[in-house]
């Protein structure tokens, strides 16, 4: 069965965006190497971790763009084990944990510079929260009950709201020159929270209610594991994919762009105000000059 024109166009869009994202990742790696001599060693180490985590997320999303999977009904576009739910969900879990680790790493860096105890605590809590969300995601994927997705997406929305609230508390300690970036990040976070709680969570809730009304029988975790590993349903029907297209398109594009942007986050240095409280200032990059007789460090 060949892809319909609508499905093919959507799939081609996902693949095209992913190709651009991979090229942007390679460019980011090259740019970071060029900036190594301009960054303090701890900052460079943190940005290098951002690059590694972003690479896992970018490549994971590229894989899922090339081989889309609709988990609960086991729909895929291509007849291959690599399109199975067990593979797709495993890739997604690793990629999503890496993405949230990026946010935790950056928030921890900001909290240390600004002296924010709230920021430090939240940076340590976001990964466990999303790890819990992933457990509920796997519950839904294996049992085919959308109730787990309701909890999963609620946790994602709550975690994003927590991050936004934390950034707002840090606002007074943030350098004025970088506050537009902080404001844009908060607005994007609020838009994400609104989408999750007003669109995504209700969608999965309605699916679960419909399954309950129809008397659907769910799988056990063991049954679900073998089912997700060995059964996939090739579907090229617009009706089967229509409900997934919006979030997949946004997730594999805008979500990836945020991940790449974190690699190039501005450098902050601590300063003290008149009262002695910590605040942050943007640190301009400066070229390090080698001392006489000491060879220059290469990136």
pLDDT the model gives residue 175: 86
pLDDT tens profile 159-213: 999 999 999 999 988 888 889 999 999 999 999 999 999 999 999 999 999 999 9
DSSP letter string, 150-204? HHHHHHHHHHHHHHHHHHHHHGGGS-GGGHHHHHHHHHHHHHHHHHIIIIIHHHH
- Total-model pTM: 0.87
Residue closest to 68 by CA, chosen among 293, 197, 252: 252
CB atoms within 10 A of CB 115: 16
Residue extents of the structural domains in the chain: 5-265
For the stretch 223-226, contacts whose Cβ atoms lie closer than 8 Å and that sit 24 or more positions apart, written own/partner, are 223/142, 224/141, 224/142, 224/143, 224/144, 225/86, 225/142
Residue closest to 257 by CA, chosen among 29, 82, 6, 22: 22
Residue 289 pLDDT greater than 60, yes or no? no
pLDDT tens profile 225-271: 999 999 999 999 999 999 899 899 999 999 999 999 999 998 887 65
pLDDT the model gives residue 288: 46
């Amino acid at each position: 069965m060949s892809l319909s024109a609508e499905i093919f166009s959507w799939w081609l869009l996902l693949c095209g965006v992913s190709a651009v994202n991979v090229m942007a990742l390679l460019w980011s790696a090259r740019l970071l190497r060029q900036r190594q001599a301009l960054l303090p060693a701890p900052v460079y180490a943190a940005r290098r971790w951002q690059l590694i985590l972003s690479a896992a997320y970018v490549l994971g999303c590229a894989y899922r763009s090339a081989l889309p999977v609709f988990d609960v009904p086991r729909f895929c576009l291509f007849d291959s084990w690599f399109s199975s739910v067990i593979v797709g969900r495993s890739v997604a879990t690793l990629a999503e944990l890496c993405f949230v680790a990026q946010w935790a790493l950056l928030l921890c860096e900001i909290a240390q510079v600004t002296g924010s105890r709230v920021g430090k605590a939240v940076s340590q809590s976001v990964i466990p929260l999303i790890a819990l969300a992933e457990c509920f995601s796997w519950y839904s994927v294996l049992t085919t009950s959308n109730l787990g997705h309701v909890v999963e997406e609620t946790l994602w929305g709550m975690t994003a709201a927590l991050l936004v609230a934390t950034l707002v508390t840090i606002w007074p300690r943030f350098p004025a020159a970088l506050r537009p970036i902080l404001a844009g990040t908060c607005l994007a976070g609020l838009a994400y929270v609104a989408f999750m709680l007003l669109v995504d969570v209700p969608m999965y809730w309605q699916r679960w209610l419909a399954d309950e009304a129809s008397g659907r029988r769910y799988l056990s975790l063991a049954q679900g594991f073998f089912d997700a590993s060995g059964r996939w349903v090739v579907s090229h029907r617009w009706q089967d994919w229509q409900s997934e297209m919006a979030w997949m398109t946004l997730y594999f594009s805008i979500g990836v762009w945020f991940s790449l942007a974190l690699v190039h986050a501005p450098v902050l240095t601590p300063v003290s105000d008149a009262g002695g409280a910590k605040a942050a200032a943007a640190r301009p990059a400066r070229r390090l000059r080698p001392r006489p007789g000491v060879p220059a460090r290469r990136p």
